[in-house]
Each structure stands twice: as C-alpha cells, then as structure tokens.
Structure 1
Amino acid sequence: MVTSRELPRVVVAAPASGHGKTTVATGLLAALRRRGLTVSPHKVGPDYIDPGYHALSAGRPGRNLDPWLVGAERIAPLLRHGASTPTPADIAVIEGVMGLHDGAVGRRGYASTAHVAQLVEAPVLLVLDTTAQGRSAAALTLGMAAFDRRVRIGGVILNRVGSPRHEKLLRDALAEVDVPVLGAVARAGEVAAPSRHLGLVPVAERTPESVAVVTALADLVESTVDLDAVLDLARSAPPLTAPAWDPRAEVGGPVGAGRPVVALAGGAAFTFSYAETAELLTAAGATVATVDPLRDSALPAGTRAVVIGGGFPEAYADQLAANTALRAELADFTGPVVAECAGLLYLGRALDGVPMCGRLDLTARMTGTLTLGYREAVAAADSAVTRSGEPVRGHEFHRTVTDPAHGERPAWRWDGAAHGFVTGQVHASYLHTHWAGQPAAARRLVEAATR
C-alpha cells in the first residue's frame, strides 16, 4: 500500500468533449478495482453526475477538483484527502472536463483539466476520438502537448477505431511523435450510459442498469487498454508535498458540546451533493442524516437544519407532490434551510403546475434554454450561511426559471442582477457552491442549528 504522498495518479483528458473521457475513466476505475487495487476517483470541474459513476466503479465517493469553486491552493490537499478517505488508495484516477485546455471563460485556462494536472503534478492520458482521422491524430496530440509544456501527455487511448488497419495507421503516426498508445477501443465496442437534458442519468436513479453499464465498461477497458502501462504512467508522478485537506481545521472544530441533526436531502431526485459538505458539517459538530423526499414521510428525528441540494425534481415532480406529509413539514419547519437549484424548485409552490412545498412564494417551469456557467457572486443579505457583501464563487446548471426570479431579499448578486431568495431562515437560489471553498457556511449553519 502506498502512502498518500507517494500516490500514483493519472488524469484522463481529451481534446474536446465527446471523445470518450467518461467511458475510459469509469471503465479504468472499475478494471483497476477488479485487480484488487483501492482506487480513488476524482472529477475536474463542478459536475455531479460523472462522480456518481466513478463512485459505483471505485466503491468509494467520487470527488471533484475545481479550482474555481474551492481555490487552486486546495486542489492537491483535496486530492490527498480523497485518496486517504476512508482508506488509503493505491492509485487516483482523475477525469478531466471538456477539452484539456478549456477552463473558466476568459481566464486563460484557469480551472481547466490542464490546470488541475499541473496542480497535482499528474501525467495525462489523452483519449482521442479517431473517427475520420488518421495520421492527423499525431499532429493533434503533439499540438495539445506543445500548447502548454507544463502538461505532460504520457500516453494516448485511441477511441472509436474503425478497423485493425486504422489502428495500425494511428499507432505508427503516434510513434513518430514519440507518444505511446496505451489502448485502442473499436467503434462497435463502446458502451454508453443513458442521458437526458443535463447530461447522463445519475447513478442513484437507475442503480441496476448503472451496475450493468459499469461492468460492461470494466470489460471493455480490460480488453482494450494496457492496464500495466497505465499503472506505470501513474507511478511516474512525483510525491505530493501538499498537506491533506482537513475539514475539522477548515471549520475550526465543533461549534459546541451538542450535535444538532442536519438533514441532507438525497435519493434519486436530489443527487447533486459534494462529499465534503457532509464532512464539513460533521467536523463543525453536526450529526448529518439523509432524508429522501421521494420515500421519507418525515424529517429525521431531532432535525434542526436542512440542506437540499441539486438534482432532477422535474423528473420526479408527481412523486414529490405525492409525499404530502414531508412537504407540509418542510413548509412549517422553523429551522434554517439551505437550498440550491433543485432545492429551490422543491421549496416553491409549484413546478410545471405540480404542487411542491410552498415554503417559498414562487412557481417554476421547464424551458428549452440551458443556463450554464461559472459565477462570481456576492452575498446580498445575511442568512444562516452567508454574510452580506461576502464574495462567493459558484456555478449554474439548469433549464428552469422561477417566477419571480428573486425575492425582496435576494440571496446573491452577480453581473449586476439579483438572484435567489432569503426569506426568514431560508436561503435558496440556483447557485451551486462547494463548501470546501467556503467552509464558514458549514460552521454558520451548525451554529444556527444549535441556536
């Protein structure tokens, strides 16, 4: 067993979205686990869905590494934390986001896969969609490497290869630029998970099918990728010198002697939650209990605060509406409530005409427009988790709108506009945040729950 300082690690990247990063990364995690290795799964960027497949493949939480949300200085510490929790890992596999050099718009690659690879000093395994491409694949690989010499492309996996002759052509071309080919996946061999309007269908919504997909991906990678070569590449990464991220140090230890119960929404309708949220709340002195609004008729006993993150309530609106007991309890709950995106919709009066909790005086509806991107926000009001004027970085990811768009006391301001709602003890908005980047939020929520 290696130590976290010696952690072998590799970044699975691509020149653009759609080349097969998730297919390779998920299959690689499952295949390495089959070998008896303890594998730590990670995802560059804010995405909640891919880490669910990673977790199913690796048997431990999938974690995000996003410099925009948590700060560049926390990326290596968060990697070390994830690779040592709950047990030390033998290898970390980090799936990239978009193209290798694509990051926050206008920030010269900040928060890109290349940026994260530099921060954790990991070699890159480049996945190439070789459809309708021959020798140019070598030129593309060489260009990706030359664009930023601080990024080391240690190997390539050829995806969607048309024939044995096509594979030989590609291998010969990449040999010309001295980039090893560590695998080749035929077009007919691809395995795909089903998707919907915001990406893949989350694992929690379709567990039996998800298990079958992961099994098929493991089979695919085992039969097409040189796992020994991937391990050798991962072992070429230098020791990590950054200390491991410590949630207790981030929040300053428990708030008091008591352990107030904080209910954290989960289940198929509310799958968007970072693992560090529960860890920070626990470190601040809370007892974190999961509530599934699709199945649980009441909040956990003794609940003093509620956190409702993102997900797909629009796919489960009728089932959520049918749970009238929990909706009524949340409507009358007097403790602090923090809601992001799906939580915002659930707390409103109705979603596409289907009754929700009615805690907030708003209605919501689906649209054909995707709202997506990083945001630089400023807290517009004091609440259970914010102080007016504080800067916060987050991201939006939704196809719904609310009426009204914000409350008399908005939660945030960005781009010259007000967003979200602060109503009594409720803080709700479309903005997704990562509390590892603002640990004071966890401590404040526990303090509010204690009061």
Structure 2
Amino acid sequence: MSGRGLLIAAPRSGSGKTTITLGLQRALVRRGLTVRGLKCGPDYIDPAFHAAATGAPSANLDSYAMTDRLLGRIAGEAVGAADIVIAEGSMGLFDAVPGPEGHTGASADIAALTGWPVILVIDVSGAAQSAAAVALGCKAYDPRIRVAGVILNKVASARHERLVRQGMDRVGLPVLGALPREASLILPERHLGLVQAGETADLHARLDALAEAVAAAIDLDAVIAAAGETTLPAETGRDAPPLSPPGRRIAIARDAAFSFVYPHVEAGWRAAGAELVPFSPLADEPPPEHCDACWLPGGYPELHAGTIAAADRFLDGLRRFAETRPVHGECGGYMVLGRTLTDADAATHAMAGLLSVETSFAKRKMNLGYRRAVLEADGPLGPAGTVLTGHEFHYASIVAQGEDPPFAIVSDPHGSPPAATGSRRGRVTGSFFHAIALATPA
C-alpha cells in the first residue's frame, strides 16, 4: 500500500475528530503501518500531536492560504513517505470563507484536491436516527467528494447504537465503528485549543489508551480499505519556499511560551538553505550571536509573562541582537517585543520595549480569521509590497498601539475595509498576523 489517504471530518466542531484521528493514527502504527498525519487549516497544535501519534512529521494543508502547487507539494511528500495518510479536518467539513472554488479554507477542498475519501465523525449524543439525516446531508452536499463511511462518537448504550445504525443503513452509509462517551479519553485543553503535545502529561500513555479504545470500537480493516488513491496537481512547485527565509542562520525561540511555527514554513526555510538554531527565552537564553536573524513565534507568553520579564539575559541579548540584525515576532512574539504585557491577573510586566505596542490578556477578546497582508516596508518577510496569506487567532488585546508605523495592511475574505496591523521600528517588526505563504504561486 502506498499513496493512499483518508480525511477524518465532521459536520461541526467538537465532534471528536482530533481524539479519533489520533487514536486511528496510533492504532495503525501499532499494526505496523507507516502513517503520516496532516491537518486541514491554520492549526499549530494538532500537527504536533499527529507527529507524536505516528512518530513521523505532520504538516498543514490550507486551501485558503496555499496555492494548489504548495498543497500538492505538502500532500505529495506525506503520501510518498507513508503507507497511509490520516488527515484531520478543521471545524465542519464544509465550513469556509468566501473564495474561488477549491480555495475557501474548507476541509472539503482538501478532500476534493487529493481524492481522499471522507470518514465522518458524528457526535450522536442527543440524537438517534436523526444523525443519519445529518450524515446524508454531508454525503450529498458537495459532488466533488466521497463520504466512505461514518464513525459514531459519544454513544450512550447498545440500544442507542442500534437505533443510530438503523438510520445509517437507511441512507446507505457504512458505520465503521462506534465509541462510547469516555471522559478519560479527552485530552486537556486551554484557550487556544489542546494543551500542547510537549506539555501533555503522559502523552504516549494517553495515545496508547486512545489507540486501544479505537481498535476495540472501530473496524480498522474497513478504515484501511476505505482509503483512496491520491490525486495531486500536475505542478507541485518545488522551486521556492512558502515564505522567504528571514536569514541564512535563524535564531528561533522554542519553548512552552514560543512554539507556534508551521512545519511547512520551517521545512521550506531548510530547503532554501537556512539553518534554524533554537533557543529558550524561558531558560533566559539570548538569541545566539552567530545567527543573522531572530524569529519569535507565537505561543503562550501570557502564561509566562513574569518569567519572561525577569529573563534579563534573554531581554538584553535580544535588544543587542536587534541593533544589527532583523527580529520578527508573530502574535505572542509580537507581544514580547512590545513595551508591556498584562497577564490574566491584571499584573503588568515589562517586555523587550523594541516596539511601542502594549498588550493585555486581562482584556480578552477573541480575534480569529484569515488575513491577506501587504508589507508596508522592506523587512525579514520580504520587500515592501510583498503579499502574504495567513491568519490571526488570539485573545490578547492591544491597549496602546504606540507611535510605531504599521507592519502591514491587512484585509479579510469578508470584505472588511483594509486596516493597518502590527508595528515596525528599525530592524524590528511584529504583528498578530501569522504568515502561512506568499500569495504568489510557489
């Protein structure tokens, strides 16, 4: 078996996609298969869990922010290295933003591009035969895709399962398995999603427990048989990275406060010849002096603001680094580059002061959505006028923007007026915008 894949999706968020995806990935690995995971949409956390479950790298497929060439490159690398790809959808299967067909951000776009059949995870709590009507709607809604079967989640009893199966039989959808409600199988969460893989206690024991539960409740042979051959664009574009490397040797913050970096971005930088050198601000490490650029990713600095404020070697080293070399911060990294960060307890902590912005996690408001950014000046992500696709997802608020000019002008898919975002001063730039790819084909 090679070059085959499946997309695990659901009619809505909260149905149990991630839990079942991880259980399937781990269970198939335990059967001796080489498995790769992929995640639809702009998600930093789930690919790390896929990597832990499979023992192999994972990445994102984002139909809004990526060209077909880049999507084909990422999917092709995964299927070329695996017996089977188990990809995970985001939100509901058809949830999307306005855009050309195939580039709306919907998980269904990825199924259509790759040819992978869809297995629907249906949360049947509070429903019986009516769950089949929902599944039938998903089966018929988009003629580009094929729903190969369903997995029932949160089944209350044997009788409940029989009633749901009767409905699925009526609409001609195979039931590949049924999992009971089991709170111990739920992974811990925080405000941006699951607690990160590296912070989850007894992660591999939890994944093994998921695998055992899935293997007991789901017909793994049927899942394997449902996988389909992969179809990819003829041009997969191996000539350019998704984002230009900000330097040849990049100091990249990496610890519990700074971890949100897309695997395809790091892989693209390495393929372009850049070296990534990790360092830990939480361990009071400064950016390594032999690097020629510094990248502060997003993450959870609001949970570690006191530690960061007391990390004098890190902050002083970052300030010295910025005197001669570019520094860029995304989301949480942007907050640390600012003057102050107010945590959830309303305590205000001094940050690097390299930008004039002041942020607060005490004044929380969710900001979420795709963005298209046009750079206002030359910088580590490209020359002025470079167009990037990406997204924002944060609860922190800006309480004072300060006097710095903006990093970029952003627009969204919904027709909102373009707006300035982020800050720049000297060689330092930052914003809440997470870059996914260049808007031009790559």
Structure 1 CA distance for aligned equivalents of residues 130 and 21 of structure 2 = 24
Match of 1:228 in 2: 221
The answer as to whether partners of 2:40 and 2:60 remain within 8 angstroms in 1 is: yes
**Distance change (3 Å), C-alpha of 1:303 and 1:433:** same
Q: What is the one-letter code of the residue matched to 1:161?
A: V
Q: What is the one-letter code of the residue matched to 1:313?
A: P
3-state SS of paired residue (1:383): coil
1:41 to 32, 37, 45: 37
Match of 1:170 in 2: 164
- Greater Cα shift, 382-391 or 325-334: 382-391
**Distance change (3 Å), C-alpha of 1:83 and 1:328:** farther
Match of 1:430 in 2: 432
**Distance change (3 Å), C-alpha of 1:379 and 1:312:** same
**Distance change (3 Å), C-alpha of 1:211 and 1:238:** closer
State yes or no: 1:360 paired with 2:352: no
**Distance change (3 Å), C-alpha of 1:9 and 1:225:** same
CA displacement at 1:309 relative to structure 2 = 1.2
Alignment of 1:108-147 (within 5 A): 110-147=104-141
- Greater Cα shift, 34-43 or 350-359: 350-359
3-state SS of paired residue (2:366): strand
- Greater Cα shift, 184-193 or 163-172: 184-193
Task: Kindly report the root-mean-square deviation, in angstroms, between the aligned alpha carbons of the 2 structures.
Answer: 2.3
Q: Deviations over 1:389-442 (max 9, x none)?
A: 3322211111112343375421111233211112111121000011476799xx
- Greater Cα shift, 181-190 or 157-166: 181-190
Could you tell me which runs of 5 or more consecutive residues in structure 2 were left unpaired when the two chains were aligned: 343-347, 411-416
Match of 1:154 in 2: 148
**Distance change (3 Å), C-alpha of 1:36 and 1:181:** same
CA displacement at 1:143 relative to structure 2 = 0.9
Structure 2 CA distance for aligned equivalents of residues 72 and 114 of structure 1 = 14
Match of 1:412 in 2: 408
Q: Deviations over 1:108-162 (max 9, x none)?
A: 7811011111011110000000011111111111111111121100010000001
**Distance change (3 Å), C-alpha of 1:17 and 1:407:** farther
Match of 1:98 in 2: 91
Match of 1:237 in 2: 229
Match of 1:11 in 2: 7
The answer as to whether partners of 1:276 and 1:435 remain within 8 angstroms in 2 is: no
The answer as to whether partners of 1:160 and 1:190 remain within 8 angstroms in 2 is: no
Match of 2:196 in 1: 202
Q: Deviations over 1:229-277 (max 9, x none)?
A: 111111x33554646553xx2159x99xxx9421122111112111122
CA displacement at 1:105 relative to structure 2 = 4.8
Could you tell me which runs of 5 or more consecutive residues in structure 1 were left unpaired when the two chains were aligned: 441-451
Match of 1:80 in 2: 76
3-state SS of paired residue (1:15): coil
The answer as to whether partners of 1:348 and 1:356 remain within 8 angstroms in 2 is: yes
State yes or no: 1:283 paired with 2:283: no
2:280 to 272, 288, 292: 292
The count of aligned residue pairs is 425
Q: Deviations over 1:292-327 (max 9, x none)?
A: 211252323511111111111111112222321011
State yes or no: 1:214 paired with 2:235: no
- Greater Cα shift, 412-421 or 187-196: 187-196
Match of 1:446 in 2: none
Q: What is the one-letter code of the residue matched to 1:364?
A: T
CA displacement at 1:227 relative to structure 2 = 0.8
Give TM-score, length-normalised by structure 2.
0.90
CA displacement at 1:189 relative to structure 2 = 6.3
The answer as to whether partners of 1:11 and 1:96 remain within 8 angstroms in 2 is: yes
CA displacement at 1:179 relative to structure 2 = 0.9
**Distance change (3 Å), C-alpha of 1:435 and 1:393:** closer
Q: What is the one-letter code of the residue matched to 2:11?
A: P
The answer as to whether partners of 1:375 and 1:393 remain within 8 angstroms in 2 is: yes
CA displacement at 1:75 relative to structure 2 = 1.5
Match of 1:339 in 2: 329
**Distance change (3 Å), C-alpha of 1:90 and 1:242:** farther
Match of 1:448 in 2: none
Give TM-score, length-normalised by structure 1.
0.88
Structure 1 CA distance for aligned equivalents of residues 155 and 184 of structure 2 = 10
Q: What is the one-letter code of the residue matched to 2:15?
A: H
**Distance change (3 Å), C-alpha of 1:29 and 1:345:** same
1:326 to 314, 330, 335: 314
Q: Deviations over 1:170-217 (max 9, x none)?
A: 1122112111111100113661111111211111223x3333322221
Structure 2 CA distance for aligned equivalents of residues 121 and 237 of structure 1 = 7
1:304 to 289, 292, 303: 292
Structure 2 CA distance for aligned equivalents of residues 336 and 113 of structure 1 = 36
